[in-house]
Amino acid sequence: MRIALAQLVATTDPQANLALVGDLTAQAAAQGAELVVFPEATMCSFARPRADAAEPFDGPWANAVRKIAADAGVTVVAGMFTTTDSPQVHNTLLVTGAVEARYDKLHLFDALGYAESRQIRAGNEAVSFELAGHHFGLATCYDVRFPALFTQLASRGAQAILLPASWAPGPDKLHQWRTLVTARAMDATAFVIAVDQARPPTAEDGRTPTGIGHSMVVGPTGTVLFELGEDPEVAVIEIDLNQVAAVRERLPILRHARNFN
C-alpha cells in the first residue's frame, strides 16, 4: 500500500488548514497514495483554544475533508477537535474516504507542566478499521507512551498503527519521539506510521504551534524505513503490510504476552 505522510504546520484558521489539506491530498493522490495521513490538530493548531475551533464530527470542516477524500479517490486521516455536551472538546482523528472511522484520543497530556485535560475530554475506546483488505489501528501523540494500546490494537489484528501527533519541542524530545515510535512498532510487531506537525516558526505573540517534524515509518521489527526532517513536506512510501504475519510467526510476542493483575 502506498501511504502519504503529510507533514504540515497548521495555523489557527481552520479554513486555511482545510485548503492545505486539499492541496496536499491532491499532491499525494497524484503520487499514487491510497491513504493520506495528516498530523494531530490539522484542523486548528494548539495555539488557539480548542473549543473556539471545535465542530461536530458531521460538521462543515469534517464534511469538507470527506469531499476532498472522495474527489481525490483516497482515504484521509486528519486530526480535528469535536464538540461534546460540555465546554471540553474531544481531540479526534477523522478517517474518511473508502472507510469512515473516528478515534477520540485516550491519553491526555497532563505532564511536564501542561494539562491537556483542561480543554480536552478523553475518549473511552481503542479504534481500528479495515482498508483495502488490511487492518489499521489509531493512536494520537501522547498515546505513544502507552504500550498497552499498541499491543491491544495489534492483538485485534492491526498490521499498521497510524500515529498523528503535534509533538512539543524540548530537551530530549526528538530522541524520545524516535525511541517511542520505534519501541511501539516492536511491541506490536506492526508498522507504525507516525506523522507529526512540522517545526513552526516562532510566533510574535508567543503562541507558537507545537511540532518538531521527523514524521516516521517504522517496520514491525523496529527498522526505521523512512524519516522526514523538520520542514513541511509530503512523502509517499510503499509498504508491504503482508510482512506482518511472517514477522509475528517468527517473533510471537503477542502470543507470549502474559497479563498480570
User: Would you name the residues annotated as active-site residues?
Assistant: 40, 105, 141
CB neighbour class for 66 (10 Å; exposed up to 12, middle 13-18, buried from 19): middle
CA atoms within 13 A of residue 85's CA, in its CB half-sphere:
0
User: Largest Cα–Cα distance in the chain?
Assistant: 53
**Are residues 107 and 146 in contact, defined by beta-carbon separation less than 8 angstroms?**
yes
What b/e readout covers 154-191, taking b as 16+ CB neighbours within 10 angstroms? Answer: beeebbbbbbbbbbbeeeeeeeebbebbbbbbbbbbbb
Contacts of 175 (CB under 8 A, 6+ apart): none
